[in-house]
Amino acid sequence: MQLLALTEGDDHVCYRYRVAPFAPALQKAGWQLHCEPLAKGAWARWRQLRRAGQADAVLLQRKLLPWWQLRALRRSAKTLVFDFDDAIFHRDSYHPKGIVNWQRMAHFWTTVYAADLVLAGNRYLYDQAAAFIGPERVRLVPTCVEPRKYPLAEHAADGVLKLVWIGQRSTMRSLYQMHEPLLAAAAAVRFDLHVISDVFPDLAGVRVRPMAWSETTETAQLAGADIGISWLPDDRWSRGKCGLKVLQYMAAGLPVVANRVGVHVEIIVDGVTGFLADTPEEWRAAVERLSNDAGLRASMGAAARRRVEDEYSVARWEKPFAEAIDALLQPKHDLTRRVGPASLRAPAHHV
C-alpha cells in the first residue's frame, strides 16, 4: 500500500520530524511512504491532486488549500489524512494585522472536516480540531526527535558557560524578546550565547557566538553547549508551537530555561529537566544556579534526555502513528461516515 505525503518539501523541517521518521514503522505495517512537494502553479497543482488518488492514502501536511483544490483532492483521494503542527488557523505572533483571521479559520474548518483522520502536534491543536469534528477522527501525535542522533553534553566544570538557541529567521524575534532576561543573567554570570541559525542577532550586552545551521552539524553544536534557552510570546499562535527546539536541547542532555507558555509547561519538568522562568529576575536566578553547579546541569540534562526517550521519541510514537494510518483501511473503517459538505466527499467508487 502507498501513502503519499503532500508537503512543502522532503527537506522541510515538518516533514523531516513529523512524517519521515515513521517510514520504517509504516513499512513494517505494509505501507510505502512517498513524499511529493506540492506543485507550484494552479494547473500543475490541480493535476497533482487528481493523480493523488492513485495512492491508497494521502497525507496533506499543514497546507490549507484553496477550496477548489481541497475539493479536487477530496474527490480524488481514497483516504485523506491531515497533519499539522502549528496554529495555522491564526496569523503568527508578529503579523501587523493581528493574530485572528477568520478566513484562515474557515479554511482550517473545511480541511479538517474533509479529512478522514487529523494528526495534531499538541493538545491545543488537538482541541481545536476536535471542536469542529469531534475527537473520533483526531489523534495527538507530538513532534518527535531521534535521541540516538544526539551526542550528550559533557557539562565541564571549568570554562565559560555556554547558552544555546537554535532557530531560523522566522523565529528570530522570539530571541530578541529574551534580550532583557539575558541581560539580567549576564549581570550575574559570564556566558556566551551560541546561536545556531541562518541569521544572527545583535543583542547589546550579550556575547553572541554565531554558528551556521546545518543538518549534519546541529546535534554536535547543541551538545557543545551547557544550557538550552527558549521563549514563546504569550498568545494563541504560540500555543500551537510543538517545542522542537526544546526537545532537541533535551535530547542533547541540556537543561532548559524557558518561559511558562504553551508546550514549555508540558515538556519541561520545572526543577527536574530545567527551569521555567518568566521575569528577568527568574532568568538570572535559573542561569546563575546552573552556572554554579556542573553536577546539577548534568543531572538535569540526563533527566531531560530520559524524558525525551520516554515521551517524545520516534520509538515511543512510531507504532501509534503507523496504527492510526493502518486503521483507516481496515474493514471496520467505514468511509461512508465521512462528514462535511457533499462536494468535499470522495465519489462513490472510492467508498
Interval 148-197: pLDDT, tens: 999 999 999 888 999 999 999 989 999 999 999 999 999 999 999 999 99
Q: Which fold has domain 2-143+314-350?
A: Rossmann fold (3.40.50)
The three-class DSSP label of residue 314 is: helix
pTM: 0.91
Segment 206-231 mean pLDDT: 97
- Averaged pLDDT, 217-221: 97
- pLDDT digits over 299-351, tens only? 999 999 999 999 999 999 999 999 999 998 875 444 433 433 333 333 333 22
Quote the CA–CA distance of 81 and 60 in Å, as a whole number: 6
Do 197 and 173 contact (CB within 8 A), yes or no? no
Specify the pLDDT at position 335: 40
Kindly state the percentage of the chain with pLDDT values over 90. 91
Judged on CB neighbours under 10 Å (0-12, 13-18, 19+), 125 is: buried
Beta bridge partners of 194: 164, 209
Contacts of 61 (CB under 8 A, 6+ apart): 5, 6, 7, 8, 14, 15, 18, 19, 82, 83, 84
- pLDDT tens-place string over residues 35-54: 999 999 999 999 999 999 99
Banded pLDDT at 231 (limits 50, 70, 90) = very high
| pLDDT cut 70: percent of the chain above it | 94
Average pLDDT of the residues of the chain: 93
Q: pLDDT at position 350, please? A: 29
What is the rounded average pLDDT of the residues 262-291? 98
What was the pLDDT predicted at 340?
37
Residue 259 pLDDT more than 90? Answer: yes
Q: Are 290 and 225 in contact (CB under 8 A)?
A: no
Output DSSP code: residue 234: S
Per-residue DSSP letter, 100: B
Compute the average pLDDT of residues 131-142: 96
Average pLDDT over residues 275-288: 98
Domain with CATH 3.40.50.2000 in the chain: 2-143+314-350, 147-311
pLDDT at 342: 36
- Mean pLDDT over residues 73-99, rounded? 96
Taking the C-alpha atoms of residue 48 and residue 40, their distance in angstroms, rounded to an integer, is 10
Exposure b/e, 289-304, CB count within 10 A at least 16 = b: ebbeebeebbebbbbb
Q: In the CATH hierarchy, which fold is given to the domain comprising 147-311? A: Rossmann fold (3.40.50)
Q: How far apart are CA 276 and CA 45, in angstroms?
A: 45
Helix (H, G, I), strand (E, B) or coil at 301: helix
The DSSP code for 313 is B
pLDDT of residue 348: 31
Least trusted range by pLDDT, from 64-68, 238-242, 248-252, 338-342: 338-342
